[in-house]
């Protein structure tokens, strides 16, 4: 790959990480994930 392709890939990866970070920090997603983990810990043992 050329340097330009690496740059485009890096920018794309950073943009994807920013979107993922925003989604995972939303209250709805956080509450859902917390509920899943809490239920799994209660049922496992």
Residues sharing a CB contact under 8 Å with residue 37, sequence separation 6 or more, in sequence order: none
Give pTM, 2 decimals.
Answer: 0.59
Check residue 45 and give its pLDDT: 57
41, 35 contact by CB (below 8 A): no
Structure tokens at 13: 């990866």
Assign 45 to helix, strand or coil.
Answer: coil
Check residue 42 and give its pLDDT: 92
- C-alpha torsion sign, points 19, 25, 30, 36: positive
Check residue 7 and give its pLDDT: 94
pLDDT in tens, 1-45: 589 999 999 999 999 999 999 988 899 988 998 999 999 999 875
């Amino acid at each position: 790959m050329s340097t330009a392709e690496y740059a485009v890939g890096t920018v794309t990866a950073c943009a994807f990480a920013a979107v993922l970070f925003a989604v995972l920090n939303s209250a709805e997603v956080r509450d859902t994930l917390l509920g899943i983990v809490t239920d799994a810990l209660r049922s496992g043992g």
